[in-house]
Amino acid sequence: MSGRVPGAPASGLALYRGRPLRVLHGCYEIAGQGMMLARGLAEHGCEAHSLAYRVDWDGRRPDFIVELDGRTAAGKVAARLGAFRRLLFHFDVYHFHFGTSFFSSPFFREPGTPLSALRPRSPLGELLRQADLALLQAMGKRIVFHFHGCEVRSRKHMLATHRLATCTECDPFCVPREQERVLALAARYAGRVFYSTLDLAESVPRGAHLPLAIEAGRWERAALERPLADFDRRDGVRGPVVIAHAPTHRLIKGTKHVHEAVERLRAEFPKVELRMIERLPWEAMPEFLSQCDILVDQVMMGWYGLLAIEGMAERRAVVAYMRDDLRPQYPDCPVVSAEPATLHAVLRDLVRDPARRAALGESGARFARERHDTRVVGERLLRAYREMLGAGTQGGSRSRAPGAAGGETGAAREHAPGGA
């Protein structure tokens, strides 16, 4: 089994105990970051893989898939145990995303459900949940927790502290006691804790920022292969201006404000069009963005997300609300800031100025490549691993390849390594 990029030798940075460092990202794919970070590490010679318990609607496929959907409760437990046995001995670093591990999935409530209606788990269920962390630690494995959003974002703090935030208009589905639990687990077991967007810093006090990662070249090629026709005339009057927006969560993204701003624009610019990105497969995204002029990410969160980075890589003008206190950390970021009250004016200026959009696009492609490409972020992550591992004297039992332990259940054997 190899997660190395063909032809990519293991650099000194990637070597651990005389062979490539072995890293597993799991067990939940949030915006494909486990996949992207594993690929970034592989570009530097690590043996890195990603694991998830489902393939979501966007079609992103990690290296190892252990399908849990459609199984009985007992079947899900058996599948998790099979995957854990299969992968327990092989890796040096276990990098868990979104508060998950082998024995836990994300936990949210249905919007509108009061917290008082949520029943606590049984003592046995609570004991077994994420018991894998203690075993991994006892074996000398190194654990990393990586937070991405509402699994840890403190709604109470954000509403009390900031005029605008992800939580401002959200119908809450977060569960504070679950957020506290995963933070406590990170404090107890993790050698490193990361968060992916700067607005999360206040909710993850022990954490460090690790930028979101994309394969920048994939998005750059899409723009070069499908240039916008008659670009200089694309001003909403002589030619079209396509504004893209992806309402993965309409209340968090501020989608209604995007609709309102575009409707106002149409009175002055009849050829302005709003295209919504909803449940579009990941493979189709580069082509879709290549036919858009402006991308509106979110207008309340305070920082930019993955779609904004992909848009920048495709040389598109990108709009998102950027908090004044965060922006100095990335002074070269070309995202144009807008909030609900200013969105119409910001979009109006961009619609009527193709030259400015072109300049922003060039800056954005450079920024995405230099800050967010898998190779750049992978090296940054690898250096953090090296600091965590020290001189390489940490670690547990002798490694063996996944699948060496016999008796895995059929549920885990379907897609996990060695089960093909």
**Which tens digit of pLDDT belongs to each residue from 359-386?**
999 999 999 999 999 999 999 999 999 9
Residue 391: its pLDDT value, please? 43
Low-confidence ranges of the chain (pLDDT < 70): 1-7, 108-128, 391-420
Residue 120: its pLDDT value, please? 64
From the centroid of its chain, how far is CA 390? 27
Q: How far apart are CA 37 and CA 270, in angstroms?
A: 42
Residue 126: its pLDDT value, please? 63
Residue 394: its pLDDT value, please? 36
- Give the strands of the sheet with 317-320, arranged side by side: 272-276, 241-245, 294-296, 317-320, 336-337
Residue 125: its pLDDT value, please? 56
Fold classification of 216-372 is: Rossmann fold (3.40.50)
Domain ranges of the chain: 15-213+373-413, 216-372
Q: Determine the 3-state secondary structure of 337 from DSSP.
A: strand
Provide the CATH number for the domain formed by 15-213+373-413 in this structure: 3.40.50
CA neighbours closer than 13 Å in the CB half-sphere of residue 388 = 25
For 30, 167, 222, 289, the CA distances from 149, given in Å and listed in that order, are: 10, 11, 29, 24
pTM: 0.89
> Are 41 and 386 contacting, i.e. CB atoms less than 8 angstroms apart?
no
